[in-house]
Amino acid sequence: MKTTGLRFFNDKAWRKKQLRYWLSDPFWGSLDYACHYGLRHLPISVNAAIGAFLGPLAAQYRFKIDNERAGNNLAVLRPDLNGAAREKMLRQMWQNIGQSMSEYSLLDKIYADNRVSIENSSYLQPLIAEKQAVIFVFAHTGNWEICGNYVIDYGFDVMGLYKPVRNRFASRIADAARERMGGVIKLIESGPTAMRLICKHLADNGALWIAIDEVKKNQVNVPSFGRQPQTQHSNLAYAVRLAQRYHATIIPVWNRRLPSSRYTVKLGEPITVAAGDEAFAEAFADLDHKLEAWLIDNLEQWYMLHEFRL
C-alpha cells in the first residue's frame, strides 16, 4: 500500500491512468449505461432527436478540444464556405455523432424496421454467384454500424476488424448492441493474430469488412487530403495488398444518414487489383481519391473529422 501511495504521487502518467480507470471511466460509463438502456425504450424518432440534441452539448462541455480541431479542419478542407456555413456544418457533425451514439441502443430495431436503402446492389450478384473473396471498405459516415448487416444479407460470410474503445464500459455497450443485431459480422480485435485470421478467411473465399479512415497513433491516415499517402501501414494499404494476394474484389461502401433515422448505402464499382507495385499504387490512389470525394461532400456526417490532424 505504501509503495502504491508513493507511486501515485511520483508517477504522473501512472496516476493519470489509475484515475481514469477507477474514477473517470466508471463515471462516464455509468452515465453511458443509463442513457443507452433508457433510450432503448423510446421510439426511434424520439431517440434520434435526443441524440441530435446531446451531440452538440457534449461538444461544448465534454469534447472542447475535439470540437475546436474539427472546426479548424473544416476551415482548411472547405475554404469555399463562410464562417456561418462551417459553424452549421460543425453542429450537424456533432448532431450526427449524437444520433449515432443514441442509436446504438436500438440498432436491432432500426435494422428490423428496414430503414436502409441499397444503391447499386447489382454489383454484388456476380461476386455471390462466383463465391470469390471480397473486401468491403467503408468510412465512418452516417451510421456505419448499420450498413454492414444489410450487405451481409446478400449472402456473404463477413469478418470484420475492430478496435475496442478505450472506456471498457462503452466497449461493452457497443458489443451488446452489435450482438442484438444478430452478430452476423465475425468481429476480431486488432492485434498480433488478426492478420493470420484474415488471410485464412480470404483464402477460403470469405469477405472482409474494414474501415479505411481508421485512427492510428492519434492520426487518421486515410484519406490523404494533400498529405503524403500512407501506403505502408494504413488499412487501405492492407486492403489493396490483400486484394492482390487473394485475388479479392474491393467494394467501396458509402453510408449517408437521411431524415427520420433512415439511411442510404451506396456501393461503389468493384475494383480488382493486378499484381505488382504499379497496380498497387494505382488502386491505392484511386480509392484514396474516391474517399476524399465522398467525404468532402459529407463532412457534416464524418465521425473522424474531430480526430483528423492536418
The vertex-118 CA angle with 117 and 122, nearest 5°, equals 150
> Quick one: pLDDT at residue 122?
93
Band (pLDDT 50/70/90 cuts) for residue 266 is: very high
pTM: 0.90
The yes-or-no verdict on residue 182 having pLDDT over 80 is no
Domain map (residue ranges) of the chain: 2-107, 113-298
State pLDDT tens for residues 117-149.
999 999 998 998 888 899 999 999 999 888 777
Give the whole-angstrom CA distance, residue 277 versus residue 240.
11
Per-residue model confidence (pLDDT) at position 228:
94
More confident residue, 64 or 33: 64
Q: CA 137, CA 154: separation in Å to the nearest integer?
A: 16
Q: What is the mean pLDDT of the chain?
A: 89
Mean pLDDT of 88-99: 97
The more confidently predicted of residues 185 and 50 is: 50
Which pLDDT value is given to residue 1?
Answer: 52
In this prediction, residue 294 carries a pLDDT of 97
Give the per-residue pLDDT at 27.
Answer: 84
What pLDDT does residue 250 have?
Answer: 98
pLDDT for residue 9 is more than 70: no
Reported for 23-31, long-range contacts at CB under 8 A and 24+ positions apart, including other chains, are 25/166, 25/167, 25/168, 25/169, 26/169, 28/167, 28/169, 28/170, 29/167, 29/168, 29/169, 29/170, 30/169
pLDDT band per the 50, 70, 90 thresholds, residue 8: low
